[in-house]
Amino acid sequence: MLTGVRYWSKPGYTRIVVDLEGTPEFTTNVLPSDAKSGLPPRIYLDIKKIRPAPNLVEKTQVEDGLLRQVRAARFDPTTMRVVLDLVAYHSYKTFTLPDPYRIVVDVYGDEKAVLSAAPGPELRAAPPAEVKPAPPPAKIPAPLVAKKPVEVPRKTPMSGPAAGLRRIVVDAGHGGKDPGAVGPSGLKEKNITLALAKLLKTELERELGCQVILTRDRDVFIPLEERTAIANKVGADLFISVHANASHNKSAYGVETYYLNFSKNDKAAAVAARENGTSLKQVGDLELILFDLMANAKINESSRLAAEIQNSLVRDLKREYPDVRDLGVKQGPFYVLVGATMPSVLVEAAFISHKREETRLASRAFQQQTSAAIVKGVLNYASALRQVASK
């Protein structure tokens, strides 16, 4: 059953999600614009052996400069056709997400449109139905070249946004019906990630003078594809997803930071499977299409950001907690990072499945130290950016 169409957009980028029940097969096709009949270019999906939900909205107006509208209608007795009526586009990517099954189409405009794209005002986490089209673009202030030294003393805010980091999206993993991993004493990952995200917002805003947007600021479920879409929509300069790790091996502990790429080992694949809410096989399937999806990913920047955050976490936490284990920077196919157009990382702060680390995760002191260390990592990343920019 085809139950609905959702979308998020900003200038030069639109993400469309087709919500389905079951796992129907589909094909994707493109029709070029037809000057003779005055028809615009179209992307369409033919979804087989499926029927529309009784309350399906057949036409969704988008009108964001890239996409005019999305139409869903029966093509033949067993096929639904979803048509994206475009105004113009440069490229598009399609991938699927399981449970519930949905098709994600990311449409990109030309480079110029993307570069001149301006973010809209602050966006709070909202249930899908409340997501509104992007507001009209606002003027971006000229980049500010900060003259502060590399080490910024704490509690001394910079005079303005650091090295072009004007807007950071912090994503508290899981939420609502998805508790994430649960510790031996019953501590839920979703509550820890929210506490960490709120601390990060306050600290990043104070230390970097930038705006921080949370994908959620309360205990609410947000689908993975919406989290990245929020970051793209608001034109974020960085995307940081915070999590707590878990393993069947109850003695596993430590801190690790991920960025989007092919998983290089089984452990990374297992972490991705857990965070994606999928099986290992589905992680393998995602890797098969990842080649195509990586075109817009900022891999080098993401790996640098991950390294700065990981180094800072290990160095700073070791002072208080000498037994902190450095599991290093890793790569994996995380759904929440797929399609992000800015440097983006996923931090696994500690193992909630490990008794000692579960106790730590629950303590305010550990949360504050973890958050402060991540902020320092972001500051170091920004400083390196500034040095590159001033050369």
For residue 134, the minimal CB distance to Zn ion (Å) is 28
Question: Of the two residues 14 and 193, which places its CB atom closer to Zn ion in the complex?
Answer: 193
For residue 217, the minimal CB distance to Zn ion (Å) is 18
For residue 275, the minimal CB distance to Zn ion (Å) is 5
Q: Quick one: DSSP state of residue 11?
A: T
Q: Report the amino acid identity of residue 297.
A: A
- Measure CA 84 to chain center: 23
Question: Of the two residues 94 and 367, which places its CB atom closer to Zn ion in the complex?
Answer: 367
Q: Which of 268, 310, 306, 304 is nearest to 286 (CA)?
A: 268
Residues that bind Zn ion (CB under 5 A): 173, 180, 243, 275
- Measure CA 306 to chain center: 14
Q: How far is CA 37 from CA 41, 59, 75, in A?
A: 12, 21, 21
Question: Of the two residues 180 and 377, which places its CB atom closer to Zn ion in the complex?
Answer: 180
Question: Of the two residues 180 and 343, which places its CB atom closer to Zn ion in the complex?
Answer: 180
Q: What is the DSSP string of 83-137?
A: EEEES--SEEEEEEETTTTEEEEEEE--HHHHHT----S------GGGPPPPPPP
- Determine the Cα–Cα distance for residues 70 and 48; give it in Å rounded to an integer: 18
Question: Of the two residues 26 and 351, which places its CB atom closer to Zn ion in the complex?
Answer: 351
Residue of this chain nearest to Zn ion (CB atom): 243
Pairing of strands 255-260, 326-332: parallel
What does the buried/exposed string (b/e) look like for 274-313 if buried means 16 or more CB atoms within 10 Å of the residue's CB?
bbbebeeebbebbbeebeebbebbbeebbbbbbbbbbbbb
Question: Of the two residues 188 and 298, which places its CB atom closer to Zn ion in the complex?
Answer: 188
For residue 355, the minimal CB distance to Zn ion (Å) is 19
Question: Of the two residues 163 and 272, which places its CB atom closer to Zn ion in the complex?
Answer: 272
For residue 277, the minimal CB distance to Zn ion (Å) is 9
For residue 347, the minimal CB distance to Zn ion (Å) is 10
Q: What is the DSSP string of 24-75?
A: --EEEEEE--BTTTTBPPEEEEEEES--B-TT---EEE--SSSEEEEEEEEE
Pairing of strands 326-332, 13-20: unpaired
- Determine the Cα–Cα distance for residues 339 and 232; give it in Å rounded to an integer: 8
Q: Report the amino acid identity of residue 135.
A: P
3-state helix, strand, coil in the chain (%, to 5): 30, 30, 40
Question: Of the two residues 188 and 386, which places its CB atom closer to Zn ion in the complex?
Answer: 188
For residue 193, the minimal CB distance to Zn ion (Å) is 7
First to last CA, the chain: 56
Question: Of the two residues 274 and 315, which places its CB atom closer to Zn ion in the complex?
Answer: 274
For residue 243, the minimal CB distance to Zn ion (Å) is 3
- Determine the Cα–Cα distance for residues 73 and 64; give it in Å rounded to an integer: 22
Give every CB contact of residue 125 below 8 A, 6+ residues apart in sequence. Answer: 214, 215, 216, 217, 218, 220, 222, 230
For residue 374, the minimal CB distance to Zn ion (Å) is 15
Q: Report the amino acid identity of residue 300.
A: N
Question: Of the two residues 203 and 348, which places its CB atom closer to Zn ion in the complex?
Answer: 348
Q: Which of 260, 235, 256, 237 is nearest to 246 (CA)?
A: 256
Question: Of the two residues 205 and 217, which places its CB atom closer to Zn ion in the complex?
Answer: 217
